Amino acid sequence: MQKNLTYRIILIIAVILTALISLYPPRLWLFDMNFGIFKKLPPTLTLGLDLQGGMHMIIQIDTKYIEEMAAKDKSINVEEYKNIALQKTLDILRNRIDEFGVAEPSIKKLSDDRIEIELPGLRDPERAKNLAKEQAVLEFRMVHKDNDLLLRDLVDEKGNLLPGKVVPENYILLYEYPRRPDGQFIMEEDGITRKKIPYLISNKIELRGEDLKTADVTMHQEYNKPVIAFKLKTEAAQKFEELTEKYRPRNTTDNNRLAIILDNKVIMAPRINSRISGGSGIIEGNFTLTEAQDMAIKLRSGSLPVPINIIEEQTVGPTLGADSIKRGIQAAYIGTFAVITFMIIYYLVFGIIADIVLIVNLLLILGALALFNATLTMPGIAGIVLTIGMAVDANVIIYERIKEELKIGKRLRGAIDTGYSKAFLTIADANITTIIVAIVLYQYGAGPIRGFAVTLIIGILTSMFTAIFISKTILMIITNNPNVDNIPISSPLSRFIEKILPKTN
C-alpha cells in the first residue's frame, strides 16, 4: 500500500512539473530572473489568429481554367491534373508564406480544390493576399524589332489598340506600367488610370521562371534602388548566352529588345547590347523595397500551375484579439470560481479535494497545449471552460457512489475504493463517447472548430487523470493516517436536496 502510494505521488509530481516546465521553461525566467512572465499568459502557448490577430483565407484553384485546357488538349485528365495542381499550389504557397516571415502559419488542404491559410500575428494582410494570389508566371520574350514603328499605326496616344487594327501574326500586345523613382505608378491626366507603355511581344517564350536558379533583392550600385539579381540554371544560362549573341547589334540600326514579363505585364524591356555569358542579370523597375522582396519570393518559389481565387478572407486586428483573450479568461475565471464555490458548499472536504484537482487539471491542459505546440483559439477557451464542468462531473459521480457505500455501513477506506471502482466505467464510457465526437470534429472541421476539438480531447484526458487518479491519491494520503476515521462529505445543502428530490428504486 505504502509503496503503491509513493509511486502515485512520484508520477503526479512528474506530470505537474512537466506541465509547468512546458508553460514556463526555466530559460525564460531562471537565468534572466524575469519573474514578470508569470503575470501574463504563458509565452509558450501558441495563440490562434482569433486571439492574437491575423488573417484567414480560403483559396480555390480555377477548375474552369483546367477544363478549358483539357478541351484544347484531349490528353489531359481533368481530375488527375486538378490533384497535381492543388498539391503544387499548396507547396508553392507554403514556400511563399514561409519566406514571408509569419510565425506559425497554417497552410492545409481543405478539399479537392480548396486550401486554407491562417496567418496569426500578421500585420499586413493586403501584402499577404497579393503574395498568395498572384500566379507569378515569369517569361523572357523578344520584342518586335520594328516595335516603335508599327505601334504608331496600331495604338492611340494612351496605348489602346485602335478599332479595326490587328497586331502582327505571332505577336501579342502587352504593357509596361512605368513608375516614378519613388516607386509610385505614373498616372494619366485623370489621376485614376495608370499610364501604360505598349509592346509587341513575340508568342515564343525564350526562357521561363523555372529556368531561374536564384533571385535575390540587391541595391543598384549606381541608382541606389532595389533590384532583383537573378542567376539562371546551367542549361538556361547557355541558352541565354546564345540568345543574346543572336540578337546583339550588328550595326547602328539594330535595336533588339528582350522583354521580361511577369503575369502578362512587362516589367522591363532592355536593349540587347552584347552577348551575355554567365547567366546573371538584374530585373529593375523602380520597385519599392517591399515589392522587390515579394517579387523575389514569388520567383524563388515558382509560378502557380493554375490561377487561384480567394473565396473567403477574414482579418482579425490585434486589439480585437486581445479583447477576446480578456473576455475568454474572465469567462474561465467566473466558471471556475462558481464550480469551486459549489463543490465546497455541497461536498465539504471532498469538495476541496475536487477543487484542488480542478486547478491541477487546468494546469495540465495548458501544459499539454504548450508541450504539443497546439494552437489555443477562442473556441478552444470555450472547450477549456466546458472541460471544467466535465471534470467536476466525474468527481460528483465518484462522490455519490462513495456516499452510497457509506450509507450501507462501509468504513471510509472501503467506501472510497468501491466508489471509485463503480464510478470508473460510467466515467470512462461518457468520456470515450465525447472523445469520439471530438475526433470527428477535428477530422472534418476547420479553423476554430479544430481548436475547440483539440482542447476538448486534451481536457477530457487530463480530467480523467486528475478526477480518478490524483483525487484518489489525495484521499489515500488522508486515509493513510490512522487518526482519520471520517471525512465529511454530506453538507446541509446536499442533505436538503436529497430530501426534496424524488427517491429512485
pLDDT in tens, 302-312: 888 888 888 88
Q: Averaged over 22-39, what is the pLDDT?
A: 63
pLDDT in tens, 389-434: 778 888 889 988 998 888 888 888 889 989 999 899 888 888 899 8
Residues 288 and 366 occupy one common structural domain = no
SS (H, E, C) 408-420: CCCCHHHHHHHHH
Residues 141 and 287 occupy one common structural domain = yes
State yes or no: pLDDT of 193 exceeds 60.
Answer: yes
Residues 6+ apart with CB under 8 A from 367: 18, 19, 20, 22, 23
pLDDT the model gives residue 30 = 62
Q: Which of 303, 328, 357 is the last residue of a domain?
A: 303
Which CATH number does the domain housing residue 222 bear? 3.30.1360.200
* Listed range (14-18, 33-37, 305-309, 448-452) with the worst mean pLDDT: 33-37
pLDDT in tens, 245-292: 999 888 877 889 999 998 889 999 999 988 888 888 888 877 888 888
Q: Averaged over 455-465, what is the pLDDT?
A: 91
State yes or no: pLDDT of 444 exceeds 80.
Answer: no
> For residue 493, what is its C-alpha cell?
445543502
The C-alpha atoms of residue 109 and residue 61 are separated, in whole angstroms, by 11
Residues 6+ apart with CB under 8 A from 79: none
* Residue whose C-alpha is closest to residue 302's, from 478, 116, 453, 88: 88
Residues 291 and 337 occupy one common structural domain = no
If one counts the domains in the chain, the total is 2
Determine if the pTM surpasses 0.75.
Answer: no
State yes or no: pLDDT of 46 exceeds 80.
Answer: no
Residues 409 and 434 occupy one common structural domain = yes
* Residue whose C-alpha is closest to residue 319's, from 39, 41, 54: 54
Residues 288 and 333 occupy one common structural domain = no
Percent of the chain with pLDDT over 70: 93
- Tell me how long the chain is: 505
The better pLDDT of the pair 355, 391 is held by 355
List phi, psi (to 5°) of 463: -70, -35
Q: How far apart are the first and last CA of the chain?
A: 36
pLDDT the model gives residue 13 = 94
Residues 164 and 244 occupy one common structural domain = yes
Handedness of CA 387, 389, 390, 395 (dihedral sign): positive
Domain that holds residue 434: 317-500
> For residue 139, what is its C-alpha cell?
517569361
State yes or no: pLDDT of 446 exceeds 90.
Answer: no
How far apart, in Å, are the Cα atoms of 442 and each of 206, 208, 289, 375, 472? Answer: 48, 41, 41, 13, 32
126 domain-assigned = no
Residues 6+ apart with CB under 8 A from 233: 211, 212, 213, 279
